[in-house]
Amino acid sequence: MTGDGRLERLNGMLRRRGFLLPAFEIHGGAKGLYDFGPVGGRMRSRVNQRWLDHWLQLGNVVELSCPTVTPYGVLEASGHVGEFSDFMTECTTCGEASRADTLLEGHHANPDALKRDELQALLTAVNPTCPSCNDRAWTTITAQNLMFNTTIGAGDSGRAGFLRPETAQGMFTSFNALHRHFRERLPFGAMQVGKGYRNEIAPRQGMIRLREFNMAELEYFIDPEAELTDDLTPWDGRPMHLLSDMEEPAVMTLFEACKKELIRHPTVARFMGITHDFLVDVGIDPARIRFRQHEQDEMAHYAMDCWDAEIQGSYGWVECVGIAHRGCYDLESHEKATGKTLRARREFDEPRTTVIDGWTINGSTVGPTFKGLAGQVKTAVEALPKDTSFPCKITLGNDEVVEIGQEHVKPNQQTIKETGEWYIPHVIEPAFGIDRIIWHVIDHAYHETEKNGEHYTLMRLASCIAPVDYAVFPLFEKDGMGDLAWNLHQQLCGKPGIVSMYDASGSIGRRYARADEIGTPQCLTVDHQTLEDGTVTVRNRDTGEQVRIHPDTLLA
RNA sequence: GCGAGCGUAGUGUAGUGGUUAUCACCGGGCGUUGCCAACGCCUGAACCCGGGUUCGAGUCCCGGCGCUCGCACCA
């Protein structure tokens, strides 16, 4: 943290110049909600686009856009309803609210995992003392959900739902469409930039903890048994700062980290490299990036391994990207909840033949004899060795013992040929907090210097994400310079992807200063010479150097 | 959610119950100026919201909202 007021001055500038502003401020504001203003809005969309372009380079990923309004069942299946709720109870004597599971620690191995009814029953049975006033008078527990509740549809026909806490689930539920799109060939990925919502109990620290935030996620589906071909050589020359859960902080290449099994999957390592490239590309200082591995107990409910990219800024080290190996958790969960198949097929090198030579049931006798148990009898009989002699007693799956006679069984001999198998793909997920990244881009780009003995601030933003590409100034708005400058400005704005800003107010120095403050890489000034030969001066933000060019070279 | 502190123009601020709320930067207009926050004149803009105490509240009290910090929480 900087104690010299830099953060305050930076925040003031961001508000003044229209990067970031508290949302709905004239109504008193709303915690954890921010506007990207007239300058920040453009920057946000450029970072989003840059992110998409960056991952599209993989060549086997597509972009999706799924709804933010999500039915209850989807997030119940994904585990969010369970994991994202805290059950609260209030002491009727002193009014102190407590988490029910916290009160019951020591009375159950893992109270956090209990369902609402179970937790209520345990609370009633134990009736713990209030940590605040030592009384024992608790209200009925209520679910305090970190997801925003909503109702899809009106009145009694309305269906419970939530605003999504991550973009991922829509991509999992679309798996079959993706699988078809990619001609049923893995690996492939789906990605999405969009809003996510978490009803944080206490949003803090500006852009770091938001209730509505911009996220960008890629779900990359892989065959867990396929040979791994991830190439880590592009990062051989760039050792990364790694904090693993095993060892002391280390600086080593991704290749080395994989070899030492600090990083447990090479695709995770490759995505760490790609993530690093992205962060540097949009202007994060590489010296202030590190990767930290999650401890086993802090891992999300779905993850097998997880590395956060952390960026150092005014709030210390902040996790801005999570790269998680989610295993088959998500697809399997949605399969279980829906009964639908979310699988890919893996062909065997050689067809596999299985020879079955044993017993099966004679349906016409087992059915009438065992009635409802017939299914379990079938399973048990088919597990019997071929040399079994009947009658014999067998134990069913429910521990019941039944006697099977010769009349209940018949020989089962068949050869089954399988050319492949269906499996649940595994998922590697890089998940980016775009707001946090934008915050750190700004934080790292913001420079306070002195110019002619006065304070001077400028943003050294990467030109690929700068909110304004060119600022166009007439030296004076007279002798036709104003018209020429305005024309140039309009022509520049006509170029796809280019934003120009026209500014004719104040002295030329003041206009340069304004452009520098929002990180405009180049300023074009129309002056008297422009009237003669059409050239303009181009002034570089970081060096202040000026060269004369003909604007056609920019408009080509 | 608990506790403490805070909330005045776009930004940063002054203001300890009493005229028309201070100052600077800032924004806009005009003039001047031949390229780095120049100058002159003019001008714009605020007491977070609601209630109370008081003859009178930016100032004191209560509640709400927001901000900061600590605790708690946190993929």
ipTM score here? 0.87
Taking the C1' atom of every nucleotide in all shown strands and the CA of A22, the nearest one is B66
Query: Residue A47 and residue A19: Cα distance in Å, rounded?
Result: 14
Residue of A118, A92, A85 lying closest to A104 (CA atoms): A118
Residue of A541, A537, A556 lying closest to A484 (CA atoms): A537
The answer to whether A539 CB sits below 7 Å from nucleic acid chain B is yes
The C-alpha angle with vertex A12 and arms to A433 and A26, in degrees rounded to 5, equals 85
The answer to whether A502 CB sits below 7 Å from nucleic acid chain B is no
A15 CA from B6 C1′ (Å): 19
What pLDDT is recorded for position A490?
Answer: 95
Query: Residue A103 and residue A123: Cα distance in Å, rounded?
Result: 8
**Three-state SS string across A441-490, please?**
HHHHHEEEEEECCEEEEEECCCCCCCCCCEEEEECCCCCCHHHHHHHHHH
Residues A175 and A257 in one domain: yes
* Residue A28 token pair: 């008193």
Task: For nucleotide B34, give the residue with the nearest CA to its C1'.
Answer: A528
Residues A22 and A115 in one domain: no
A204: three-class secondary structure by DSSP: coil
**Whether the Cβ atoms of residue A346 and residue A225 lie closer than 8 Å to each other:** yes
Domain annotation covers residue A269: yes
Domain annotation covers residue A194: yes
What pLDDT is recorded for position A272?
Answer: 97
Residues A180 and A311 in one domain: yes
The answer to whether A84 CB sits below 7 Å from nucleic acid chain B is yes
Q: What is the CATH number of the domain that holds A232?
A: 3.30.930.10
Residues A204 and A177 in one domain: yes
A454 CA from B24 C1′ (Å): 14
Can you spell out the DSSP letters for A362-412? -HHHHHHHHGGGHHHHHHHHHTS-TT--SSEEEE-TTS-EEEE-GGGEEEE
What pLDDT is recorded for position A2?
Answer: 42
Residues A195 and A280 in one domain: yes
Q: What is the CATH number of the domain that holds A122?
A: 3.30.40.230
- Classify burial at A22, counting beta carbons within 10 Å of its beta carbon; exposed 0-12, middle 13-18, buried 19 or more: middle
Domain annotation covers residue A448: no
A216: three-class secondary structure by DSSP: strand
Residue A63 β-bridge partners: A191
The answer to whether A316 CB sits below 7 Å from nucleic acid chain B is no
Residues 431-470 of A with CB under 7 A from strand B: 451-452, 454-457
Residues A31 and A168 in one domain: yes
Domain annotation covers residue A439: no
Residues A262 and A371 in one domain: no
Give the bases of strand B that a protein CB approaches within 7 Å: 1-2, 7, 10-13, 26-29, 33-39, 48-49, 64-75
Taking the C1' atom of every nucleotide in all shown strands and the CA of A512, the nearest one is B36
Distances in Å between the Cα of A52 and the Cα atoms of A55, A165, A191, A468 are 5, 20, 8, 20
A456 CA from B26 C1′ (Å): 15
Residues A64 and A205 in one domain: yes
Taking the C1' atom of every nucleotide in all shown strands and the CA of A505, the nearest one is B28
The answer to whether A132 CB sits below 7 Å from nucleic acid chain B is no
Count how many domains chain A has: 4
Residues A251 and A326 in one domain: yes
The answer to whether A144 CB sits below 7 Å from nucleic acid chain B is no
Residues A478 and A356 in one domain: no
Taking the C1' atom of every nucleotide in all shown strands and the CA of A5, the nearest one is B12
Which residues are CB-contacts of A7 (< 8 A; sequence separation ≥ 6)? A1, A314
Torsion of CA A432, A434, A436, A440, to 10 degrees: 110
Domain annotation covers residue A271: yes
Domain annotation covers residue A152: no
Domain annotation covers residue A341: no
Residues A140 and A170 in one domain: no
Q: What is the CATH number of the domain that holds A477?
A: 3.40.50.800
The answer to whether A519 CB sits below 7 Å from nucleic acid chain B is no
Query: Residue A270 and residue A295: Cα distance in Å, rounded?
Result: 21
Query: Residue A326 and residue A269: Cα distance in Å, rounded?
Result: 14
Taking the C1' atom of every nucleotide in all shown strands and the CA of A166, the nearest one is B75
Domain annotation covers residue A114: yes
Residue A393 β-bridge partners: A403
The answer to whether A227 CB sits below 7 Å from nucleic acid chain B is no
A555 CA from B71 C1′ (Å): 58
The answer to whether A2 CB sits below 7 Å from nucleic acid chain B is no
A228 CA from B57 C1′ (Å): 74
**pLDDT tens-place values along chain A, 556 residues long:** 445 788 889 999 999 999 999 998 888 888 889 999 999 999 999 999 999 999 999 999 999 999 999 998 899 899 888 777 667 776 666 556 667 777 777 777 666 666 666 777 788 888 777 666 667 777 777 666 788 888 888 766 778 888 999 999 999 999 999 999 999 999 999 999 999 998 877 777 888 889 999 999 999 999 999 988 999 999 999 999 999 877 678 899 999 999 998 998 999 999 999 999 999 999 999 999 999 998 776 666 666 789 999 999 988 899 999 999 999 999 999 999 998 999 999 988 888 887 878 787 777 777 777 777 777 777 777 777 888 777 888 777 777 777 777 777 777 777 778 888 999 999 999 999 999 999 999 999 999 998 887 889 999 999 999 999 999 999 999 889 999 999 999 999 999 999 999 999 999 999 999 999 999 999 999 999 999 999 999 999 999 999 999 999 999 8
Query: Residue A304 carries which DSSP code?
Result: S
A479 CA from B31 C1′ (Å): 16
The answer to whether A131 CB sits below 7 Å from nucleic acid chain B is no
Question: A396 is in which domain, residue-wise?
Answer: 347-420
The answer to whether A58 CB sits below 7 Å from nucleic acid chain B is no
Query: Residue A339 and residue A324: Cα distance in Å, rounded?
Result: 26
Query: Residue A447 and residue A482: Cα distance in Å, rounded?
Result: 31
The answer to whether A103 CB sits below 7 Å from nucleic acid chain B is no
Residues A170 and A292 in one domain: yes
